[in-house]
Amino acid sequence: MKWLSTATVVALSLFGNVAHGIELDLESSASVKEAAGTIAFGLMRFYTGNNTGDTPGNLPDPYFWWEAGAMFGTMVDYWAITGDDSYNDVILQALVHNAGENSDYNPANHSLSMGNDDQGFWAMAAMSAAENRFPNPPRTKFKTCGGGLRWQVFHTNKGFDYKNSISNGCLFNVAARLARYTGNNTYLNWAERVWEWEDERGLISDSFEIRDGTHISNITNECESVDQNQWSYNAGIFLYGAAVMYNVTEDQVWRDRIDGVLANIQRRFFQDGIMFEQICEPFANCNIDQRSFKGYLTRWMAWTTRVAPYTYDTIHPLLLADAEAAASICTGTSPEFRGHPGTGCGMRWTTPGVHDGLYGVGEQMNALSAVMYTLMDDVDPPATLSSGATSPDDPTGGTQDVSFELPDITTGDRVGAGILTVLYMASCLGFTSFLVL
């Protein structure tokens, strides 16, 4: 898919001649950390949850709760990669507060609009905290479509009749990581089950396209149509989950899946070597959510190189090019941007040096990810309980919701995941939430 003119392609090869709002020397760790720090400052200036009278962990309108969870996951990685702990108190407050009354990332103040993907992004933030030694999922009904998570938790919510890849991808991603973190095969089996369900329902194609979701018929109670749209974060979440599964099992089938998803990512989400959101970005009509998706793909590609190192030679050059491109458009100044003047980041990286006029949490988070994940050579692989992870285990956390059908899992299978009683235990996994005492 080609969207760039010849002139723009030529410009892409001339990054060295583009005046950056943020100076970036990819040969210098200090330069990368300084650039990441500037972008992180701009990102966190959007956050108001620690203001008097506001709710910890929340972003102001028009941002939804899930994107706040995604932001704090990014900031956990920012601390782990750069060593800058200046935001750690805010991160900790957000992760603890939003675990909710039952330590399941289903706080009452968000219950009316709760989606499985919403919980999933907070769960992955907590999982990242566990894996990176930060100081100190599932809700499924098996009577429709042969399994799978619905998008929305409650039947009154719009979207309850939709089973989507991001909700199931959150479960797949976290289950795979918990299998690695704990050594418990129950999580391994759940990850395999999710992939198989996605494949059987046509949400993962023979060419490893990750499609958005499937609608449940109100007549047959079966999934009868597939939304063919492909979004970058769906591809990324399944890429990293597959990489973790390969790390745990060393099974060739998972390596083949990594290769297939990664090849599709390169075909679908890179334009002349630079990442873009192919459905909406060329037409400048991405919504608030979609404007943040590239950052998640960047994150999961970067972490894939740490658990499946053979992918490094393919992924790392893409990350380097994205970092140059993203930094080159962090030149904006606007009343809605409260970071350092002249460092506001836009969304479109495929026009180097040209800010597209967009400002927001997604744009800052994407650029921060692009810059800081070039430092992954200096980052340890994710920790496990056997390799020095420090979090205590609470196998009862997140197991309060019994309103959904449970598979036959024994008490012995409910081994907590160290730091996480994270998620939404309507089905079987006893996860422990991040430092909820």
Higher pLDDT, 413 or 58: 58
Can you give the pTM of this predicted structure?
A: 0.76
Residue 308, φ and ψ in degrees, nearest 5: -130, 75
Query: Coil, strand, or helix at residue 49?
Result: coil
pLDDT digits (tens, 9 = 90+) for 76-115: 999 999 999 999 989 988 998 898 877 778 888 887 788 8
Euclidean distance between CA atoms 301 and 237, whole angstroms: 9
Euclidean distance between CA atoms 290 and 181, whole angstroms: 30
Give the H or E element holding residue 78: helix 65-82
Express as a percent the part of the chain with pLDDT over 70: 81
- Two tokens, residue 146: 């042969």
* Longest alpha-carbon distance in the chain: 63
Helix axes 165-182, 232-249, angle to 10 degrees: 30
Taking alpha carbons only, the member of 350, 381, 383 closest to residue 366 is: 350
Euclidean distance between CA atoms 57 and 65, whole angstroms: 8
Give the H or E element holding residue 331: strand 330-332
Euclidean distance between CA atoms 202 and 335, whole angstroms: 45
User: Is pLDDT of 261 > 50?
Assistant: yes
User: Is pLDDT of 433 > 60?
Assistant: no
Euclidean distance between CA atoms 53 and 32, whole angstroms: 36
- Two tokens, residue 118: 């919403």
Answer yes or no: are the C-beta atoms of 404 and 140 closer than 8 Å: yes
User: Is pLDDT of 40 > 90?
Assistant: yes
User: Is pLDDT of 232 > 90?
Assistant: yes
pLDDT digits (tens, 9 = 90+) for 108-139: 888 778 888 889 999 999 999 989 988 764 55
Euclidean distance between CA atoms 126 and 76, whole angstroms: 9
Mean pLDDT on 221-229: 88
Euclidean distance between CA atoms 376 and 380, whole angstroms: 8
